[in-house]
Structure 1
Amino acid sequence: MAFPFRPGRPACGLGLAAALVCASMPPGLAAGRDIEVLIDQAMMLRLERPAAEIVVGNPSIADVSVQSGDTLVLTGKSFGETNLIVMDTHGQLLVNRRVVVQEPDGGFVTVFRGVKRETLHCSPNCETQLVIGDTPTYFDPLAKEIQTKQRIGQSSAEGQVSGE
C-alpha cells in the first residue's frame, strides 16, 4: 500500500503506540540488516532526505507515519515480517528493508484450557492482552474494545466530540 507524503499529515495512523522508542537510524537505510520493533511500540527512523513515497508491505504488521519530511515513526502492530520501502521526490530509494515485529520478552502468561488459549501480560499486575492465536471468544471482545478505544482517541486527536 503506497502513501504519498503530504506535509503535516501522517501517512497512516499510529495504531497502538504504547511506548515510543527513539532509535536514530544511520544513513544508508536502503539496504542492510532488518529493522526490528516490538508489538505496540514505536521507533523513529531518520532519513537522508525527505520522503515522497512510502510503502508498507503489510500494514497490519507494521505501520508508519511521517513525523517530518525526513523522520518516520514505525509502529509494530502484530508479530510477523513485512517490508518498508521509502523513495524521495526523484524516485530514488531511501529505504528498502525487511521489518520484523516481535513480542516483548517476558511478562506474558499463556493459559490453556483444553485447546482454548488466553494470554495475559503480568508485569507487575496481570492484564488482558490481545495476542493473535488466542481463542476467538477471548480475542474478539478484547479486539472490539481496543478498536473502540482507538476510535475515541482518534476522534479526540481530530478535535471531535464523542457522538458527533
Structure 2
Amino acid sequence: MIADRLIQVEGPMDNVVTVYRGVERESYSCMPVCQRRITLGDSEGYFKSTIDQAGTLNTQATGAAAKGN
C-alpha cells in the first residue's frame, strides 16, 4: 500500500438558481450577479441560446486575441 486517505466528494459550491416557467427550466449562476448557466436538462430554447451566446463570446475573444498578436 502506498497511501491510505479519506476523500470527501462534494458538489459545486457556487450559488445556482433554477427558474421553472411551467415545464421549461432555466439555470443561473449567481455569484455575485446572476448570469445564464449552461446546464444539461434546461429547456431546449434556453440551452441553445445560452450555448450560442457563449460560442459567440468565445469567437469574439479568440479573434481579439489573434489581432493582438
User: Normalised by the size of structure 2, how large is the TM-score?
Assistant: 0.67
| Ranges in structure 2 where 5+ consecutive residues have no aligned partner | 1-10
Correspondence for 2:61 among 153, 156, 159: 153
Correspondence for 2:40 among 132, 142, 148: 132
SS in 2 for 1:105: coil
Indicate the residue corresponding to 1:118 in structure 2: 26
Q: Distance in 2 between matches of 1:149 and 1:123?
A: 20
Q: Distance in 1 between matches of 2:65 and 2:18?
A: 34
Match for 2:54: what amino acid? Answer: I
Indicate the residue corresponding to 2:5 in structure 1: none
Alignment of 1:101-116 (within 5 A): 104-116=12-24
RMSD, aligned α-carbons: 1.9
| Higher helix proportion | 2
Q: Distance in 2 between matches of 1:148 and 1:124?
A: 23
Structure 1, residues 42-89: CA drift from partner, whole Å, max 9, x if none? xxxxxxxxxxxxxxxxxxxxxxxxxxxxxxxxxxxxxxxxxxxxxxxx
| Ranges in structure 1 where 5+ consecutive residues have no aligned partner | 1-102
